[in-house]
Amino acid sequence: MTLARVVTFDGVSPSRVEEMKARMAEGRPDDIPATEIVMLYDADAERSEVILFFDSEEDYEQADQVLGAMPADETPGTRTAVGRYEVAVRETA
């Protein structure tokens, strides 16, 4: 079963998005065992949605603990919502 952690952030500036892109280009942290990370961004609203995919409950729980404890200056903006979902449908080209 694939799980997704979906997080909404407000107050996300374009410069912060560029910082996050640069950080992700350096590689994913070892303590976040996501199989994929997607960041959606609405520049007009300064809002982003970050979706992380996990192959197991254990991987999800490990990342959830790490990400939940992450200092605010390491996140894209102000965390306003966090959701846990089972991935019902996923298709790639």
What's the confidence (pLDDT) of residue 22? Answer: 92
Q: Could you tell me the pTM of the whole model?
A: 0.91
What's the whole-number mean pLDDT along residues 44-63?
96
**69-79: pLDDT as tens digits:** 988 888 889 99
Q: How confident is the model at residue 30 (pLDDT cuts 50, 70, 90)?
A: confident
Per-residue pLDDT at 17? 94
Map out the domains of the chain with their CATH numbers: 3-86 (3.30.70.100)
CA-wise closest residue to 16 among 49, 51, 52, 46 = 46
Instruction: Give the pLDDT band of residue 36 (cuts 50, 70, 90).
Output: very high
3-state secondary structure 31-64: CCCCCEEEEEEECCCCEEEEEEEECCHHHHHHHH
